A = this chain, B = another copy of it.
Amino acid sequence: MTQPVIKVAIAGYGNLGRGAQAAINQSPDMQLVGVFSRRDPASVTLIDNSVPVYSMDDIAQYKDEIDVLILCGGSKSDLPEQGPKLAGLFNIVDSFDTHAKIPEYYESLDTPAKQAGKVALLSVGWDPGLFSINRLYGEAILPVGETYTFWGKGLSQGHSDAVRRVDGVKSGVQYTLPSESAMERVRSGEQPTLSTREKHTRECYVVLEDGADEETVRNAIVTMPDYFADYDTTVHFIDQQTFDRDHQKMPHGGFVIRSGVSGTENEKNNQTIEFSLKLGSNPEFTSSVLVAYARAVYKMNLAGETGAKTVFDVAPGLLSSKSPAQLRKELL
């Protein structure tokens, strides 16, 4: 391939930023040119020292040296503040994942990106992201049917925090699991009505403080309103060593299932489309999606597109480093 190398930078260097650097290292058509951080650059340790770390305060100086900037900040406060500013300077891609605020955030990026002649691709990752695309494909292809999203097996940060707040808990994590029985009902074509809590179960792994009582802690967890009371919750007690060995990763995943019906009133046929992810590392996977879409952002802007975009606006071929002719020959 003699295509140009895409110059990419990362803004924000937590789990997502580290994952983005690792994913760029797997992409020969991309070059990481720098990492921007709000911390003192000297204090930021990269997964490898191939690029400089700059202060976020100086980012505007690098306006002409970066083809796409990958925003790796959080959705709660980082992105709403940084996104609109950076969209006026760079082509950007982010993983904004507060579903209810997407329309508002979209608008906040669209104007600066259009004025700057840049593309701002928001809410990239797996949900929102690949799951959203599969929800869309499912209902567009099988308009008569139901779509089901299940999450897990995955570490839930909010619920893990809730477990750790319980008296007597030294260390704790919580995994959300899709309910196997609910998934089988969906796959059968039955099209059941299921609440979020009917679709999921919860599993906790807890290390007790010295002297704490198992049954008291278990009871405090499984009866906790909002978090656990309405779910089928299992609590496992383990020692610190097991906890440190087996529960330091951030696995996640889930399923999008479209159960539809085709044919005529007299002769109907069930049709099922299923998409699933089993992720060893949730942040690294999200970063991998961000990096593939950074490539698409570059191509879209090169083709003259500007303004805010979502994964729904991105043709699949733009994600690949291969040419359209090569894709038709090798992958179609």
Q: How far is the CA of A18 from the CA of B325 in the complex (A)?
A: 32
- A271 and B262 within 8 A (CB): no
The answer to whether B312 touches A328 (Cβ under 8 A) is: yes
Interface residue? A141 (CB, 8 A) = yes
CA distance A123 to B331 in the complex (A): 12
Stretch with Cβ within 8 A of B (4 or more), from A32-40, A68-76, A87-95, A315-323: A315-323
Whether a CB of chain B sits under 8 angstroms from the CB of A193 is no
In contact, B312 and A141 (Cβ under 8 angstroms):
no
- A285: which of B19, B27, B187, B262 is its contact (CB, 8 Å)? B262
A81-B103 Cα distance, complex, nearest whole Å:
47
Smallest CB separation, A259 vs chain B (Å): 10
**Docked pose: A82 CA to B320 CA in angstroms:** 31
**Contact in complex: B316, A144 (CB < 8 Å):** no
A137 proximity list for chain B (CB < 8 A): 130, 316, 319
Q: Which residue of chain B lies nearest to A127 when distances are taken between CB atoms in the complex?
A: B332
Q: A6-14, A194-202, A275-283: which one contacts chain B?
A: A275-283
Residues of A that sit less than 8 Å from B by CB? 19, 22-23, 25-27, 47-48, 99, 102-103, 106, 123, 128, 130, 132-133, 135-137, 139-144, 187, 189, 249, 260, 262-264, 269-281, 284-285, 287-289, 292, 295, 310-317, 319-321, 324-325, 327-329, 331-332
Q: 10 nearest interchain CB pairs?
A: A269-B280, A312-B317, A140-B319, A269-B281, A262-B284, A272-B278, A270-B280, A140-B292, A132-B332, A140-B320
Sampled A-B contacts (20; CB under 8 Å): A102-B332, A128-B332, A130-B273, A132-B331, A136-B316, A136-B319, A136-B331, A189-B280, A260-B288, A262-B288, A269-B280, A271-B279, A272-B279, A274-B277, A311-B316, A312-B315, A312-B327, A312-B328, A313-B317, A314-B315
